Amino acid sequence: MVTEDKNQGANLRPDNKILIPATIILIGIIACSILFTEPFEQLLKSVYSVFTNTTGTLFLWATLVMMFLSVFFMFSRYGEIKFGEKDEKPEFNNYSWISMMFCSGVAGAVMFWSIVEPLFNLAYPPMFAEPLSREAFEWSMAYVLLHWGPVTWPWYMVSALPICYLYYKRKKPVLRISSTAEPILGEKANRGIGRGIEIIFIIGLMFSNATVMGVSVPIVNHALSAVLGIKPSFTLELVILGISAVIFTASVSLGLKKGIKVLSDANVVIALGLVLFCFVTGPTVFIVDNFTNSMGQMLSNFWGMILWTDPYTKGSFPQDWTIFYALWMASYGPFMGLFIARISRGRTVRQVIALGLAGGIAGSYMIHAVFGGYTLHAQLNGVVDAVDMLKASGGSAALVSVLSTLPAGTFVLIGYCVFSTIFLATSVDSCAYIISCSATTKLVPGTEPTRGHRFYWAAIQAGLALAAITLGGLGPAKVFANFAGALMLVPIAFGIASWFKMTKQDDALVKYCTPDPNKTI
């Protein structure tokens, strides 16, 4: 295995001072989850309850800050900063860029939540509405649009900027989160503190992706069981995890352009096909009207929804949903920042934020509007009592019951299984790629971590997914996501502070942002 490229100055050996501590912690968590399932699950639930009730509101304010910063960077003179040489063209076209960004950012979970979250909002509605009431239907999709729009994508876009700047402007020869702390910490960022930040990032990202895998695999389990006429089982979940492993192993072998890019492009086509089929064969007018109504509901009540903490009753909706999403998306922020940085050579700040927000929100809204709208229509008109199914058998069973009511429901379930499996493989592949970048001694633009190093982290991730499946249920998955989000706020805060310091030190507003007098910004 070639570990050093003398021509480009890269050293592709794993940094064992990062790899070994992170591995020990993750293996310990996997072992506790599998060997001591019930006590470990109770411990997680206790920590989750205390954490969300005492510190959750902080993340609502942090989400608002990320929204403000994304708008500020897009429309200010910072927007002119280009990540690459002055005349350099983007490495990937807009379609591939959005596809890779979207598939890595939402993974297979987007299809699950597009059906299951509206049902939860009907069964346990926000804003003191009665279950299954008109008010519950009014709020149901409005909260989905809030969570998968402004709560999600600003975390990703803003987190990418300092990493892009370091990698393409300062030519920092690593693709690491700890590098973003260097302008603040100095040489300490390359020593113990920096490695500590990197270990926090790796563990947090693993937990965040385990949340997705812990949700996605049981869904495919139930969908395949319905198609094959068998009972869902843990054995089938292991088979599904194995198939996913084969796909992401092949993708890891092929690398970024031939692996992740191809899978992402293909999966967007499958997603568009499923969405179009449901839209055309389902209640088209209701879907459009429901989305329009929900968008108006969300926009007119935005501030009350995003900052609602329900301090006067014992309700837990804000903690269970809005705060959960804020933490979960924060947990993906640094990962998406690193991934977006890797694929954004030749783009400006304005292009990264505008294209990322537009593509991400549009894709999320399209999927949620169609499948969420169909779900609400089916429940409202008695096509299926999906809320009762949710309460009795869980989210995966409710999802299958809804999709089965579509015309050619069996083929839809098969398409959904393919879609979710590829989405899952893309997410795992992207995660393994970025973690191996973080744990590589020295990368330079144009180089990639070794194949063996990427395989290593993919295998560890599969083990953590097995732990999440063993624990089972949405409760442990939410705990994983919240824990990951709490960890990630540290590198995100360092990154934002470093962005402002770096641009000031480099006089970037003069070098890269001086507006053309004949151009309107």
Distance CA 513, CA 326 (A): 31
User: 10 Å Cβ neighbour count for 405?
Assistant: 16
* pLDDT value of position 514: 47
Q: Across all residues in the chain, what is the average pLDDT? A: 82
Number of H helices and E strands in the chain, helices first, is 22, 5
Residues 46-66 have a mean pLDDT of: 83
Distance CA 113, CA 111 (A): 6
* pLDDT value of position 212: 72
Radius of gyration of the chain (CA): 22
pLDDT in tens, 59-99: 899 999 999 999 999 998 888 888 878 788 888 888 888 88
* pLDDT value of position 96: 83
Confidence bin at 5 (pLDDT 50/70/90): very low
* pLDDT value of position 520: 43
Residues 438-459 have a mean pLDDT of: 78
**DSSP at 520:** -
What burial letters (b/e) apply to 461-475, b meaning 16+ CB within 10 Å?
bbbbbbbbbbbbebe
* pLDDT value of position 263: 67
SS3 percent helix, strand, coil of the chain, rounded to 5, is 80, 5, 20
Distance CA 146, CA 406 (A): 27
pLDDT above 50: residue 368: yes
Is residue 482 within 8 A of residue 52, CB to CB? The reply is yes
Q: Which residue has the tokens 């939410």?
A: 478
Residue 97 token pair:
């860029």
* pLDDT value of position 519: 47
The sign one gets for the Cα dihedral 323, 329, 333, 337 is negative
**pTM reported for the whole predicted model:** 0.83
**DSSP at 280:** H
Q: Which of 62, 67, 59, 66 is nearest to 324 (CA)?
A: 59
Confidence bin at 224 (pLDDT 50/70/90): confident
Residue 33 token pair:
């989850």
pLDDT in tens, 225-243: 888 888 878 788 778 777 7
Q: Which of 79, 183, 175, 177 is nearest to 508 (CA)?
A: 79
Distance CA 200, CA 484 (A): 9
Is residue 437 within 8 A of residue 449, CB to CB? The reply is yes
**DSSP at 84:** S
pLDDT above 70: residue 418: yes
Distance CA 110, CA 95 (A): 19
pLDDT in tens, 131-174: 999 999 999 999 999 999 999 999 999 988 888 888 788 877 55
Q: Greater confidence, 513 or 462?
A: 462
Q: Find how far residue 500's CA is from the centre of its chain.
A: 25
Question: How many percent of the chain have pLDDT more than 90?
Answer: 28
Listed ranges 140-154, 250-264, 269-283, 447-461; the one with the highest mean pLDDT: 140-154
Is residue 489 within 8 A of residue 45, CB to CB? The reply is no
pLDDT above 70: residue 383: yes
First to last CA, the chain: 49
Distance CA 2, CA 452 (A): 11
Confidence bin at 477 (pLDDT 50/70/90): low
- Among 62-66, 127-131, 258-262, 456-460, name the one with the lowest average pLDDT: 258-262
Is residue 160 within 8 A of residue 337, CB to CB? The reply is yes
Is residue 249 within 8 A of residue 452, CB to CB? The reply is no
Listed ranges 93-102, 294-303, 305-314, 500-509; the one with the highest mean pLDDT: 294-303
Is residue 79 within 8 A of residue 73, CB to CB? The reply is yes
pLDDT in tens, 20-30: 998 998 888 88
pLDDT above 50: residue 401: yes
Distance CA 20, CA 14 (A): 10
Is residue 291 within 8 A of residue 141, CB to CB? The reply is yes
**To 10 degrees, what angle do helices 323-343 and 94-106 make?**
140
Residues 358-380 have a mean pLDDT of: 93
* pLDDT value of position 199: 85
Is residue 89 within 8 A of residue 259, CB to CB? The reply is no
- Among 48-52, 253-257, 303-307, name the one with the lowest average pLDDT: 253-257
Q: Which of 452, 207, 496, 461 is nearest to 332 (CA)?
A: 207
Q: φ, ψ for residue 498 (rounded to 5)?
A: -70, -35
Residue 431 token pair:
């995660």
